[in-house]
Amino acid sequence: MNPLLEELAGGRLKEFTIIFSGLSEGIHDFTFTLEDDFFKEFPNSPIEKGKVDVELAFEKKRRMLVLNLELAGQVNIECDRCLQPLNLPVATQYKLMIKLSASQPSPQDVKEDIIYIAPESSHLNVAHPIYETLILGLPLSKTCEMDIGGEQACDPKIMAIIEGEVQEEETNKTEEETPIDPRWAALKKLKDK
Ligand SMILES: [Zn+2]
């Protein structure tokens, strides 16, 4: 059993649990909305705020579950360059297959998009696959120009600092010769105590 699927089932992401044992074979549609509370459940999430609509076509077969996920909305995320928050549009999809099987596949049969769960499983929590789909769907480079409003530019103050740092590195060689500012010297004394 995939531990992620099980761990989340009893937690605060309970609304993402699908009890499929009672479902008939065929496709069942589910919808979810991801908001700030959702992202809080993932401590390493680069997204803290957002609103994303999720459509899940959940297909139940005899020994297989097929999840077709479609996500659309917007997330608030830091600009890679100036760290300013920006609202990024997201639209992504993913297909995940879950096999109900007593045995794990042999290493040569392992396929990326197939998860194996015990045949007697009755429920599945889809919060983690949804989160993964969203994160994988984010563009590699996220910058202010991509903001939904279309008018955001990188913070000029931050950009000046970044550019200043580059110049400072270039002139680093002469730094040792320059006398230490007396205020820094006083601070350094405090620190050394
Ligand atoms: Zn920026």
Looking at the fold, whether 172 and 91 belong to one and the same domain comes out as no
Q: Tell me the per-residue pLDDT of 86-115, one tens digit each, with 9 for 90 and over.
A: 999 999 999 999 999 888 777 776 666 788
Sign for the pseudo-dihedral over CA of 80, 81, 82, 88: negative
pLDDT of residue 101: 87
Tell me what pLDDT residue 161 has.
85
The helix/strand/coil state of 17 is strand
Ligand 1 centroid vs 76 CA: distance in angstroms? 13
Distance from residue 46's CA to the centre of ligand 1 (Å) = 15
Within this chain, do residues 94 and 174 fall inside the same structural domain, yes or no?
no
Do residue 141 and residue 167 come from a single domain?
no
Residues 66 and 116 in one domain: yes
If asked whether residues 27 and 70 sit together in one domain, one would say yes
> pTM score, two decimals?
0.77
Biggest alpha carbon distance in the chain?
79
| Structural domain ending residue among the three candidates 112, 127, 146 | 146
Phi, psi angles (nearest 5°) of residue 99 = -100, 130
For residues 136-141, average pLDDT: 93
* Spacing, Cα 50 to ligand 1 middle (Å): 18
Three-class SS state of 159? helix
- CA triplet 93, 98, 60: central angle to 5 degrees? 85
Q: Does 170 lie in the same domain as 130?
A: no
**Inside any domain, residue 151:** no
- Provide the pLDDT for residue 3: 44
Question: Is 124 in a helix, a strand, or coil?
Answer: strand
Q: Are residues 16 and 71 in the same domain?
A: yes
Host domain of residue 166? 156-192
Ligand 1: distance of its center to the CA of 93 in Å? 27
Residue with tokens 């949804």: 130
What is residue 181's predicted lDDT score, i.e. its pLDDT? 65
142 and 164 share one domain: no
- Which residues partner with 94 through β-bridges? 69
Q: Is the pLDDT of residue 42 over 60?
A: yes
Residues in Cβ contact with 96 at an 8 Å cutoff, skipping those fewer than 6 apart: 66, 67, 69, 113, 115, 129
